[in-house]
């Protein structure tokens, strides 16, 4: 039977208790070595509940379900039934095309893509002010310069 969802400090104490009781030293904490689980738990997007032995029940909360994309890559073993679930940290706000160079049936397009941080990324930043999304500067948005290559077909241009 599962117990109540544990808060991060309670989770750490439970891990220490289980490590002693079960006689194993491997860290069964799903957030061990990767801050994503502890950040998602601390910001209310997931719950982490001890299941049995070294297994943990990690579930999306209602808030997490709203933020998550479609699950993929199902993994099922004796003690584990898991799915990968994408959670966006930023969304495309706008695209500004800076230039197009056409060379026969090929073209290069230079563009700036402007991104806005999602509520998940903003919650992570509130919890940990040092958290940064890849190329993020300061504030709640950032941009990236990209170059795209296109090829012309009978029915139009397509990205190479």
Q: What tens digit of pLDDT does each residue of 64-123 get?
A: 988 888 877 877 777 677 778 888 888 888 889 999 999 999 999 999 888 888 898 889
Between 95 and 13, whose confidence is greater?
A: 95
| pLDDT, position 9 | 58
Give the range among 39-48, 85-94, 124-133, 134-143 with minimum mean pLDDT: 134-143
Entry pTM? 0.62
Q: Which two tokens stand for residue 75?
A: 């993994």
Q: Which residues pair with 90 in a beta bridge?
A: 117
- The whole-angstrom separation of Cα 38 and Cα 36 is 6
Q: Which two tokens stand for residue 29?
A: 């904490």
What's the pLDDT band for 140 if we cut at 50, 70, 90? low
Domain boundaries, the chain: 8-84, 90-159
Which helix (H) or strand (E) element contains residue 39? helix 35-42
| pLDDT, position 107 | 94
- In this model, does residue 29 exceed pLDDT 60? no
Nearest to 87 by CA among 110, 111, 63: 63
| pLDDT, position 12 | 55
> Which residues lie below 8 Å from residue 121, measured CB to CB, with a gap of 6+?
89, 90, 131, 133
What average pLDDT is seen over the chain? 76
> Which residues lie below 8 Å from residue 25, measured CB to CB, with a gap of 6+?
19
| pLDDT, position 108 | 94
């Amino acid at each position: 039977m599962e117990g109540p969802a544990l808060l991060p400090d309670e989770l750490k104490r439970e891990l220490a208790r289980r490590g002693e009781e079960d006689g194993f030293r491997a860290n069964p904490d799903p957030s061990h070595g990767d801050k994503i689980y502890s950040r998602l738990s601390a910001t209310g997007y997931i719950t982490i509940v001890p299941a049995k032995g070294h297994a943990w029940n990690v579930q999306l909360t209602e808030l997490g379900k709203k933020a998550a994309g479609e699950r993929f890559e199902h993994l099922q073993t004796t003690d584990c039934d898991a799915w990968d679930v994408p959670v966006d940290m930023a969304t495309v706000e706008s695209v500004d095309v800076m230039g197009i160079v056409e060379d026969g049936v090929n073209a290069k397009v230079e563009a700036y893509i402007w991104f806005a941080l999602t509520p998940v990324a903003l919650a992570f930043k509130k919890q940990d002010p040092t958290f940064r999304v890849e190329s993020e500067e300061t504030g709640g948005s950032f941009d990236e310069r990209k170059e795209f290559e296109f090829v012309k077909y009978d029915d139009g241009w397509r990205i190479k």
